[in-house]
Amino acid sequence: MFANTVRSLLPRRAQSHFKRNLHKPFVKIVEVGPRDGLQNEPTHVPTDVKIEFINKLSETGLQSIEVTSFVSPKWVPQMGDNTEVFTKIAKKPSISYPVLVPNVKGLEAAVSVGAKEIAVFASASEGFSRKNTNCSTQEGVNRIKEIVEKTKSLDSTLRIRGYISCVVGCPYDGYIQPKAVTTICESLLSLGCYEISLGDTIGVGTRSTMEKMIKDLLKITSADKLAIHCHDTYGQALVNICTALDLGIRVVDSSVSGLGGCPYAAGATGNVASEDLVYMLHGMGAETGVDLKKLISAGHFISEKIKKPTASRVNKAMYKKYFQ
Ligand SMILES: [Zn+2]
């Protein structure tokens, strides 16, 4: 069903994804494990392990890997080695290596090490914005405006990706009205973000809340400006991703091994596991460009290093049983 309906749902600008294979829709995966994943892992991960991990991910066929965050190490000690990680990874010209930037200071640090793409973030929820960044959602947008203004003098070619967190639910404010997401999304797009990643930060979204939120957004923008970012806390991530795909979204964020968690929801898991996502997409007849076997190996590597069993159900044992 997905493969058949895909083309009719696709906005014209996103149809270029079909050029590589006219019969298979292309879904781009943004791997966020090294940043969103590891940032929320309690185990300290040595810098050389992160570098080796990212280098392994670069060999899988992924097109975008978010590698670190230029935040103050006082806030996020796990990302304190951002400069070393960014400068020492073996970068491939075909891959984008975005870094998360919370403010102008972070932007300056990112540009000084040669970052070509940054990610900025705002929240659709007032409660989350205040707790997480100590400002209102509007002040969060203003902070992004400052970052964007600064890029013009530092590096006008820098690509800027926007995240909106808590797009359907918030640990403090509960259900989030689609209007709140639409307002922030409109602001970030007008500031010049090339794409907005819609984050179900605590994984409370369901097919119906996702659908309502995305349909509202499609009244003000096209699906090729949107990406989906689902955490799997309540087992809804793949269903929610399918909902986004049905509505024309073709970019999905995920973390290999389902790395990460959410400090705001007890027992929360991380992002949807990249391995499970790739397995599902290939099973649907979509193309990702990702070698599932290599992806599983990269996930196995980091799971062993942080001594945490992979959250992915598509693992080495499963692959061996069904594919070899
Ligand atoms: Zn996330």
Question: pLDDT tens, 238-267?
Answer: 999 999 999 999 999 999 999 987 666 555
Write down the catalytic residue from 166, 185, 230, 262. Answer: 262
Tell me the pLDDT tens digit for each residue of 39-49: 988 889 999 99
Reply yes or no on whether 262 is catalytic: yes
- Domain positions in the chain are 2-7+24-323
The reported pLDDT for the residue numbered 15 is 46
How many angstroms is it from 199 CA to the middle of ligand 1?
Answer: 6
Return the CATH fold of 2-7+24-323: TIM Barrel (3.20.20)
Distance from the CA of 36 to the center of ligand 1, in angstroms?
A: 5
**What type of residue is 182?**
T
C-alpha angle 194-199-204 in degrees, rounded to nearest 5: 160
CA dihedral (115, 52, 26, 232) in degrees, to 10, reads -100
Neighbour tally for 135: CB within 10 Å: 16
Q: How does DSSP assign 6-33, residue by residue?
A: HHHHS-GGGGGGGGG-TTS-B-EEEE-I
Residues with CB under 5 A from ligand 1 (ion): 36
Question: Distance from the CA of 323 to the center of ligand 1, in angstroms?
Answer: 30
Q: Which residues contact 304 (CB under 8 A, 6 or more apart)?
A: none
- In 192-264, which ranges are continuous DSSP H helix? 207-217, 237-246
Q: Where are the alpha helices (H) located in the chain, listed in sequence order?
A: 2-9, 38-39, 47-58, 82-88, 104-112, 126-133, 137-154, 178-191, 207-217, 237-246, 274-283, 292-305, 316-323
**DSSP label at 34?**
I
H or E, element range at 165: strand 159-165
CA of 262 to the centre of ligand 1 (A): 8
pLDDT tens track for 165-211: 999 999 999 999 999 999 999 999 999 999 999 999 999 999 999 99
Q: How far apart are CA 150 and CA 133, in angstroms?
A: 20
Measured in Å, residue 230 CA sits from the centre of ligand 1 at 7
Check residue 58 and give its pLDDT: 98
**How far is residue 263's CA from residue 266's CA, in Å, rounded to a whole number?**
7
The CA 21 to ligand 1 mean position distance, Å, reads: 30
